[in-house]
Structure 1
């Protein structure tokens, strides 16, 4: 005996039906309103006292959901939608829904959904309510029918207990997505008003251009021929790009990436075919493996590429005409030569690209835009990569920084600014390189006093302070006196030599004189420096040598000690214990080993580590603002090239040791 069974869907079936993206869920409810011939549809988001999303409400003034006492309710069946039997609404609009599943998408937005609807029965307006829950999506509760207090039809869909989300429903991006989906429909039926979050979607505001193209027919493997067309809508005030798979009437069913180059354009492309309706019925529209889908997408993208290539040419021509009227276009009306014509063609392409991709470029004033175009023209004609990079950096500056740069150029020449930055970079390279040479064990044994250290210091007196300029290098005490008298603008004739105690002559490594003097003050300072090789440990012997020089200056009355102070520095890498104790007595500043009775002569012992740390510290603020990064390897390589090509690091074995 045969048996007939009824198939009862289980909860997992309902839950799969209810799962979808929030964008599609809202779209389905709006489509239902439009299929009911609504002229006004509004999507609202209600918040509770704590600021959280409490309800999503979608209102329309359509014909409502009719309820005849002797007919099955439209919510009672799954599939077999009444919409599938008609092509147009009573108001002759194209019908969207056909599958009878749209109402279930509402449960993707929240746990409880209520439809408050009013329909017209003869001359009467009747209202009732439909209540559904995601916990039992296949069951709906219908209230009793009551006369309506208002003589108007429509439906209010309220989604309570909305799903937790990151606020995307109320973002400009969500609004832009909705606008792209419904723009073609709103363009066809301009009396309809669709509002999202209190703001209407205005097709005049968002749509810049619209054009439709037939695509070549496609034959499937089963022999059926597929017709398709592509509508392209360029956006004016919304951003983003998308390729939508639509039914033959342009109702979006699925979305793909356009995968087309279209600089400066935002658009929606609508690939229309009845074939996509068939795929949607079988839940295959989101899968590109279906027969023919890949070929249709390829054909649509080819058409998009042709379209936007032509639009780029049109846009470039229009922009160039605007620039000519503004007087910023840098080429003459007629090309002077074939090479000039080629350069102009390249310029046109680059200028349009700059216009499209540099934020705020189109709003620049005439002078700034003209400067940018002149730089671009020069870069193209000269083929200079350096000029191209300069142009790129200037164009990418925010408008405020461009203004600051322009004002800076009013106060200082660009070449001087460049020289100053280069000078700072060379100082950092020199100081770091010298520190590496004299302090790193793997190379300092090769670094000699006069051949290497002396040459670097003589060329870079700023190592010891910004106030110093080179006086003399490697001079005897007598010539030191002559240099001193010269700086003091006195008679430089010396009849008797300057001698150390015991009647011996002496020779100093470097004398530096103060370069900048304070007006009205006698604050001249001379700095005498005694250098020692990098691997030398300084002891009392080296200090005594420098002390004798200081004593000779102090004892010789021809040296001015009244208006000039004298500092003597002994500079090396390491100090022995006895000398370190002498230089760090409590009655003197750290590093000071001797102060004369008058206080005008001081003898110091400095390590290269201390000296170069202070030097780099003086430059740190500017270095950080310029974001200059200099490595030890680069620094040593620079010094070796400039001063000591004969110096090479010790073997890797010693370096690693």
Structure 2
């Protein structure tokens, strides 16, 4: 049977390399230099003398070993293969160009590429040229080799007919940042290596987040202590083609071995390198072709050295785990901010209880991220929203332990992860209980101090200076569902402007045509009726028992005026809105009491969208205590011991510092 070979065309080569962009293609020629043992690679670019600064020509110059003429067929003729790939090299070589196609990527930024290379063979220096046209990538032209007058090896790759995309702006904004990310780890490990652009050394310090000189002490099987010195680096950005690795160098800074750390692909952006320097690593005997199992067994000829290296690896991994913990704490804060920007967090109200629930949930999400950041990895917006809502739903029930099965369906939790997660759930539960206890304790203190202000007339508390200040700071007294619109000394026009801004986001001047438009409400609150998904508003007029012992029709008439302004102002008249008005004082005179339509609730009047209530302070206090009764009974707080205030100034200061305040 006749044998035929498949022909690889120039177009098919370009198709295979279609994922390359100009900066990645340029980096291939830099790698080729370092693969040839260069210590310095210089990119020389000549720009046009015009406003666009297009690149007229480019040359990449290295001081490596050059390309041996006798090996040229193996190095240039074979595509997608290379002598670099075929040779069983030690893992110390860090050879990059193993696929044999880096030399052809120039078509991404230029039409022509020419190599002028010098190499040493049997103590004699030779030189020759190679040319490739991007129109015909499958073939190359070479000159005859000749003796060289130079006494140094190296290669110059010159590019002509440069694409117009390659300009001074491109070099500064794309090429240099790309090279910083791609070569930072290599330049940090290979201290004698340099990349220069038009003679200026590439500065990669901007991609280093943290750098620390470290020392590790390890004992061998004879209990002899060995000290290893190294450098830890936390990278701001992920390398384009390198995992987070351990690099083991001898004292001449030759890389003897590299190995990925255990913290790759954890979904946390913890990009790192750990470089350890010691002549001990000269003893490593692993080849490029070793699998992981044989590598661990045959890394050293000496069992003693193998065990010592194993202990060192354990120390290195423990060190990285310690570095990762504070990093994850910082990252967790950023993750929450990202969730809030993306509007994927569950919605919480603004009252004290909901704020407590929100903080508890945020703390839980942050701590979950610290335990297993990969839970949040590669989720789109909808998936994030659903997952966070699910977490919040389970957090609010007794099914917290079911989070194990939920997360097990998403990721594979290790034994350590499950233990950490169990501790996290218990800690979060305890934090929430403690926070709730503190909130209830603070609220009880408010109630006890409010009683003193209301009913201890010897304190001579004033309505505006004392009572109103308490009510404004603790408007939860009238319900958990409300937000403050305004209080005291705010005219109706200003109140309307703020109300429409809070409700609709409308920010403009308003005008009210009503004779009572200059009156001032003591407290104006707004919230949402969740049953009907509509605005629910509350206006409160408070009367100090020290000054007014009984509410009369005179005070009732005042709150009726408030209702009249609102009902007859179009901007307040959305048919979905409901309005409640409460007049509250120490007692109610007989005439006003006889007018109440429902003496149990204090309902005095009602219309389609509004109701007016008249209440005693004792009823308000009873309502608060009824709402908290279950928790009060559970906590069994000795209320009389909560407040240490002995006079009115001390009492007001105590209330001002109280954490139950809404502002």
**TM-score using structure 2 length:** 0.38
**TM-score using structure 1 length:** 0.38
Report the structure number with the largest CA radius of gyration: 1
